[in-house]
């Protein structure tokens, strides 16, 4: 994969770790900038517009969870959480707010690179497909620009939300089990809990369904999973 154009922002309050990751990724031909606190991270994020943020949870002026939500609400960006927190609930919280992966300290730089490549591969897979606009009723999905419009209004989707919606909409009428969606969209099951699918489906429905109790786009198949099954009014 061509990585020269890929931009990565490293956010970690440990200057030694931030410098180590930055030097390593630059050697791999990524464009990299780093910040050691939330305020600086926000400023660099707006200017640099990274494709991926490697984000520590514990920062001196905020939590990485808050930054994760802020960044994904303003840009279609991938988030790799990097932290010394090893508790499963901490990991689950990160994934439920939209993080794409989670790596705990201490870590191996080669494993970090592998995870970065795995996350960015999702973008390559979408772009390598034949670009087909999906337009059904009031919903328009553009896989080239990764934009979603509903009733002619641009919607803000996290990377995972977009990938999940696009995958379902590209396979209309097919019922997908939660574990199959995790395998195809997340490409792994980092916390061993397929309920992350339910959370993201709920977030998508709140954005594209006029009545989430009577969905027109994403249908729940009880005891199995979900399918994209557009129902005109």
Average pLDDT over residues 5-15: 92
- Confidence band of 72 (pLDDT split at 50, 70, 90): confident
Delimit the domains of the chain by residue range: 7-127, 130-228
Location of structure tokens 């939330």: 38
Q: What is the pLDDT of residues 140-174, one digit of tens each?
A: 999 888 889 999 899 988 888 888 999 999 999 99
**What value does the mean pLDDT of the chain take?**
85
The span from the CA of 216 to the CA of 233, in Å, is 8
- The conformation of residue 209, written as its DSSP 8-state character, comes to -
pLDDT of residue 143: 85
Quote the pLDDT of residue 212: 77
Q: Which pLDDT score is estimated for 59?
A: 92
Host H or E run for residue 217: none
The CATH architecture assigned to 7-127 reads 3-Layer(aba) Sandwich (3.40)
pLDDT band at 99 (very low <50, low <70, confident <90, very high): confident
CATH number 3.20.20.100 given to 130-228: no
Cβ contact 218:201 at 8 Å:
yes
**pLDDT higher than threshold 60 for residue 71:** yes
Q: Is the pLDDT of residue 189 over 70?
A: no
Give the helix/strand (H/E) hosting 103: strand 101-104
- What number is the average pLDDT over the span 92-114? 83
C-alpha of 176 from chain center: 20
DSSP 13: S
Whether pLDDT at 91 is above 80:
no
Lowest mean pLDDT among 95-109, 117-131, 177-191, 211-225: 117-131
Which helix or strand (DSSP H or E) is residue 225 part of?
Answer: strand 225-228
Residues making up the chain, counted from first to last: 233
The structure tokens 């209004």 sit at: 153
Measured CA distances, 201 to 66, 161, 220 (Å)? 21, 8, 10
Confidence of residue 102 (pLDDT cuts 50, 70, 90): confident
Find out whether 82 and 103 touch, Cβ atoms under 8 Å: yes
CATH topology match: 7-127 vs 130-228: no
CB atoms within 10 A of CB 125: 11
């Amino acid at each position: 994969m061509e990585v020269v154009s890929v931009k990565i922002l490293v956010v970690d309050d440990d200057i030694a770790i931030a410098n180590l990751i930055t030097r390593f990724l630059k050697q791999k031909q990524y464009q990299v900038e780093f910040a050691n606190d939330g305020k600086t991270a926000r400023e660099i994020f707006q200017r640099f517009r990274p494709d991926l943020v490697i984000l520590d949870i514990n920062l001196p002026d905020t939590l990485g969870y808050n930054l994760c939500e802020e960044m994904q609400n303003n840009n279609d960006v991938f988030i790799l959480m990097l932290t010394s927190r090893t508790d499963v609930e901490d990991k689950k919280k990160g994934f439920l707010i939209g993080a794409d992966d989670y790596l705990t300290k201490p870590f191996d730089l080669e494993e970090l690179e592998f995870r970065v490549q795995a996350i960015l591969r999702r973008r390559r897979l979408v772009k390598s497909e034949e670009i087909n606009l999906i337009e059904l009723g009031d919903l328009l999905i553009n896989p080239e620009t990764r934009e979603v419009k509903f009733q002619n209004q641009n919607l803000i989707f996290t990377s995972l939300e977009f990938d999940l919606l696009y995958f379902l909409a590209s396979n209309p009428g097919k019922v997908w089990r939660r574990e199959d969606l995790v395998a195809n969209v997340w490409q792994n099951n980092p916390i061993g809990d397929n309920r992350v699918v339910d959370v993201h489906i709920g977030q998508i429905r709140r954005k594209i369904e006029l009545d989430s109790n009577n969905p027109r786009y994403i249908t729940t198949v009880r005891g199995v999973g979900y399918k994209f099954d557009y129902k005109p009014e």
